[in-house]
Amino acid sequence: MIDGTPKLKVLLIDDQPDSLNAMSSRLESEGYAPIATSDAQSAWQHLDDGVAVVVTELDVAKTKGVEVVRFAKQHAPHAIVIVVSAEPDIGLAVAAVREGAFDYLTKPVDPSDLVHRIEMALSRRRMAAEIASLHLQLNEKHGLQNMVGNSPAMRSLYEKIRLVADTRSTVLVTGESGTGKELVARSIHHLSKRKNESCIPINCAAIPETLVESELFGHEKGAFTGATDRKQGFFEAATKGTLFIDEIGELELGLQAKLLRAIENRTIMRVGSTKETSVDVRLVAATNRDLAEHVKNGHFREDLFYRLKVVELKLPPLRQRKEDIALLVQHFIAEISADAERPVRDIDTEALEMMKNYSWPGNVRELRNTLEGMIVLSMKPVIEASDLPTHISNHNESQAIIKPGMTMSEIEKEAIRRTLQHTGGNRTKSAEILGISLRTLQRKVKEFGL
Ligand SMILES: Nc1ncnc2c1ncn2[C@@H]1O[C@H](COP(=O)(O)OP(=O)(O)OP(=O)(O)O)[C@@H](O)[C@H]1O
């Protein structure tokens, strides 16, 4: 603890005075300001005292089990909560962490261990805050809305985004679902002169077909049953800003004609009106459909297709830029752990390799969701291969099958490659696993060009 900085308050709730005193005097000697209480009835009153850390048993007056964590997080949302239980209970520990506890200790608590855990929690929190602020600074500098990825494909995409941002051109963003099309649209907006105005998204697949026109262009009072008032549409609401039309492939043909007119003439007509209204809107559209195919089978107007395609930004699927997976994983671990207040801060080499080998049909969204599922349920600091969902480990196993037709030397090469991958490149460990000498391994690595 640095001299001169206010002491951090640690609320200690324990019904055993001996253990309470031991924890309290140790924390005091480390420069903390402990508030120690064994009175369960009044313990929660101290939550309002600006406590930074709560170390509590799982039985405090009427509050019991994980309720204790919930209660503490509700009344002191920024506090780090460490629970102490009389008996080890994995189920309870997982539930407590899921409710937002940072750590779970069993009695008797070693005061030095407690200090260590508190320091770890504080340092994780600082790290998460630093990462978040670094991202914020980077975003402000580059305006690239939290886009992570350093592969050649992504770097070329960033360049194109910067080039197109400050023009008025309509942009079509294409790519499979979950590749980051909305992030691209927002980045374009934030890098443009329109950044201080609104960027309004509309998803054509999420709105009933009959409503899309009035949502986009607005309507006059009495234009249809239920139109009790005149209403502004998204085009007008996005004036001087950006309108992001997602899933444009779902727009029905009649509306496609109206949209084309709005783009070309920069005017719109509200439903029920005969008057044209000028609009100054930058349009970014996105689709995960093959629009050319839609044009061929008559579902999408050719003229609108070519009007939109003037500037097309194609987002590659994640399986084609596997070199970005490690960066994305680190980014999401930091983001999700900080959000959910979990101890996870890293992934081991084997688990990361398995994630890289997977095909990610749902792209970055699937990667993020997978990590969120694992982190929320984890109390460990490092994600391991055994934590991965079975479809990812099964996929890796099926890839490991020795295929008929392989020569012995190919099989040997594959075994060495995978073992090195598994040990993170540690040759001594790999030789041990493979049952060969280190010298033989070194010779084979050279021979196979691994
Ligand atoms: N390069 C990236 N860096 C960081 N996060 C990303 C990246 N790409 C996508 N994401 C995240 O993945 C999720 C899906 O992204 P987004 O909604 O932009 O995809 P989309 O292509 O528009 O999907 P859909 O076609 O289903 O609408 C979001 O949580 C987004 O923040």
CATH number at residue 14: 3.40.50.2300
Q: What string of pLDDT tens digits covers the 450 residues of the chain?
A: 444 557 889 999 998 999 999 999 999 999 999 999 988 788 888 887 778 899 999 888 777 888 889 888 888 878 899 999 888 888 888 888 888 888 889 888 999 999 999 988 887 777 776 666 666 566 555 567 678 888 899 989 999 999 999 898 999 999 999 999 999 999 999 999 999 999 999 998 888 878 889 999 998 887 777 778 888 899 999 999 999 999 999 999 999 999 999 999 999 999 888 888 999 999 999 999 899 999 999 999 999 999 999 899 999 999 999 989 988 998 899 889 888 888 887 888 888 988 998 999 999 999 999 999 999 888 788 898 889 998 888 776 656 556 667 788 888 888 888 888 777 788 988 888 888 888 899 999 988 888
**What are the distances in angstroms from CA 6 to CA 9, 27, 51, 126, 234?**
9, 14, 12, 16, 50
Whether 402 is in a domain gets the answer no
**What is the span of the domain harbouring residue 86?**
9-130
pLDDT computed for residue 2 by the predictor: 42
Residues 37 and 102 in one domain: yes
3-class secondary structure, 298: coil
pLDDT value for 396 = 64
Asked, for residue 401, whether it belongs to a domain, the answer is: no
Residue 3, in any domain of the structure: no
136: in domain: no
Last residue of a domain, one of 286, 316, 346: 316
CATH number for position 301: 3.40.50.300
Ligand 1 pocket test target in 179, 181, 183, 333 with most atoms within 8 Å of CB: 183
Q: Are 103 and 117 in contact (CB under 8 A)?
A: yes
Q: Residue 246 CA: which ligand 1 atom is closest?
A: 27
Domain-ending residue, one of 75, 100, 130: 130
- Tally of domains in the chain: 4
Q: Residue whose CA is closest, atom 27 of ligand 1?
A: 177
> Going by CA atoms, what residue is nearest to atom 16 of ligand 1?
180
Give the per-residue pLDDT at 366.
95
Residue after which a domain boundary falls, among 282, 316, 350: 316
Specify if 162 maps to a domain: yes
Q: What is the CATH number of the domain that holds 347?
A: 1.10.8.60
Whether residue 23 is found in the same domain as residue 104: yes
Q: Whose CA is nearest to atom 28 of ligand 1?
A: 365
Nearest protein Cα to ligand 1, atom 23: 178
pLDDT given for residue 398 in this prediction = 59
Q: What ipTM does the predicted assembly reach?
A: 0.98
Supply the Cα-derived Rg of the chain in whole angstroms. 29
| pTM of the predicted model as reported, rounded to 2 decimal places | 0.64
Question: 307 and 345 share a domain?
Answer: no
List the structure tokens of 428. Answer: 């001594």
212 and 339 housed in the same domain: no
Q: Ligand 1 center to residue 183 CA distance, Å?
A: 6
Determine the pLDDT at residue 244: 96
Residue 11: which H helix or E strand, with range?
Answer: strand 9-13
If DSSP states are collapsed to H, E and C, what string results for 166-189? CCCCCEEEECCCCCCHHHHHHHHH
- Same-domain check for residues 200 and 262: yes
Pocket of ligand 1 (CB under 6 A): 146-149, 175, 177-183, 246, 288, 364-365, 368
Compute the distance from residue 18 Cα to the ligand 1 centre, in Å. Answer: 53
Report the atom number in ligand 1 closest to the C-alpha of 149.
1
CA of 342 from ligand 1 middle (Å) equals: 23
Q: How far is the CA of 336 from the centre of ligand 1 (A)?
A: 15
Q: What is the pLDDT of residue 102?
A: 87
Specify whether the CB–CB gap between 233 and 258 falls below 8 A.
Answer: no
Q: How far is the CA of 386 from the centre of ligand 1 (A)?
A: 27
pLDDT for 288 equals 92
Residue 86 C-alpha from the chain's centroid: 36
CA of 424 to the centre of ligand 1 (A): 30
Measured in angstroms, how far is the CA atom of residue 189 from the centroid of ligand 1?
A: 16
- Residue 271 and residue 295 share a domain: yes
Closest atom, ligand 1, to C-alpha of 315: 21
CA-closest residue to ligand 1 atom 7: 180
For residues 325 and 280, membership in a common domain is answered with no
CA distance 284 to 246: 8
Quick one: 18 and 120 in the same domain?
Answer: yes
- Pair 18, 119 in one domain: yes
CA-closest candidate to residue 172, choices 353, 344, 308 = 308
Domain check: are 31 and 120 in the same one? yes
- Which stretches does DSSP call E strand in 280-415? 282-287, 311-314, 346-347, 382-383
CA 345 – CA 350 distance, rounded (Å):
16
Query: Does some domain include residue 240?
Result: yes
What stretch of H or E contains 370?
A: helix 363-376
Q: Are residues 312 and 327 in the same domain?
A: no
**308 and 330 inside one domain:** no
Q: 313 C-alpha to center of ligand 1: Å? A: 14
Decide if 221 is inside a domain. Answer: yes
Cα–Cα dist 148/298, whole Å: 37
Does residue 4 sit within a domain? Answer: no
Would you give the DSSP letter of residue 219? Answer: B
Q: Six-digit token pair at 280?
A: 């100054």
